Chains A and B, each alone.
Chain A
């Protein structure tokens, strides 16, 4: 079982997040691997453990800081780490990012075929959830997205996905791109031995030229969308907090009535 997991460097959710020149500000001191990608790494590790053989690759694309995301995957138990680091990638939209990831995946796949690519369901900084679909389309592999359960066998993968109107069971031949929800599993914690090993582990550094990707086809220049304005929302004005000393419910009702909400 050979599985590649795509992981993303995202700002710490608890930190103040912001924009610089129309793109999300990402710095190493307050960021790590996107939390929902932990479920993807966990799914890959469990499948390899159950198969009794195989390898897990962690792949990220981004600036120098993004290496923290693949190091986190190594700490959790991934065997290999790849970092596509090229200034020309900056400002890519989801389609540009998918093209770069797909080129890196093909490079791994062509040397030794992969069975699966696993991703998280969304990145907690962007949350568009479009990347897994774009990646499956770009690779022209099977698309099994939003998996709440995942089984692999006999050359197929089968998932159950929970949509608002129905629970769908979907099956498709390998290789497949699978995105997993946080319902699928409970990610493990890194153990001390792996943390120490991850520090010294080699991270493969690839450029767009290594992947045969034309720099002009990705990045801000090729993006179909451009952020033209970004500004922090003002905090809520006239905030009222009362302590209930026997009249809290009446105060709440009065507030709702005054606002025309009751």
Chain B
């Protein structure tokens, strides 16, 4: 083993590929840490601004209805300590919403996302390097391992000299790929120590990288025999890489999207908005009836007369009904998302690159499930906010800005 290690250190091509792996990994980890740091800083700033703005807004109001209307609440999904390694869905799914007491579904689905052009290009994070670039480096390190010796006229001499030819090739390949794993994982671990990622998560991720590299090593040794030329082996392996890392995932994504169609986010927003807008022209019974089915505890506080003028409690009741109207669409959107995610999970078993990427996103808490969980947290918080305001609106409590500032619920992501 020491002989092969010294031999490997003298190979300039190995140094080039290992250096490249280290630079890619270092760049990916640095960019990931920077992105996570920016997101954390943005959350900290938004929380501060949110608190100050809410205090100002509440102090300027005269009743609970206006307070609910003008007061916003920041909700957010803080990145995990391991998110630097896999930004995942945080590129395409919102991780912050600024919401208020109006109908929620529209606020969720009309939210701004990051620049979609960036999302299209994808993120250069460690998950990208590990799942897509690392297999290429394995191929480049190993495609010519035996065929290069054959072309140079050394293969017979080597195999006739070695006690075990198979052991020699495995140890050569093993050393190169182990060195690649080290070059990839050193920046990852350093990043983990900087960000405070759990040791167990780091260890699991390193293990996953090693298993993935071992898979590509076996594939390369199997598909790149000594009897073929290096050019033939390289072409075969690049074709295999393209198939497994690009073509198969793309086909699977297309298939899943066809098998599980999703309502458009815009449809949900439209359904909710139309319900809210229509309510202005409908008899109040049309609003209160479905509202009280959901909140029967306020039945004794909703005596109405269609001749009455504007009432905040009626206004918020039809906001609630707007959400109830959009609920089936929203529910089917969420169920569809979860179904697509489930299918993607199973189909990743035939797409190693996707499996690797999903594993890392799961470890980092940046996968689709994490995005769905965050959305649910926002709904839950909005429910708490509704309960808090309804108690004051329907009981017609006198507005007290100081009490409002002190007791109004705030979003707490702890436990996620």
Physical interaction between A and B: no
B residues contacting A by CB (< 8 A) are none
Residues of A participating in the B interface, judged by any CB pair closer than 8 Å? none
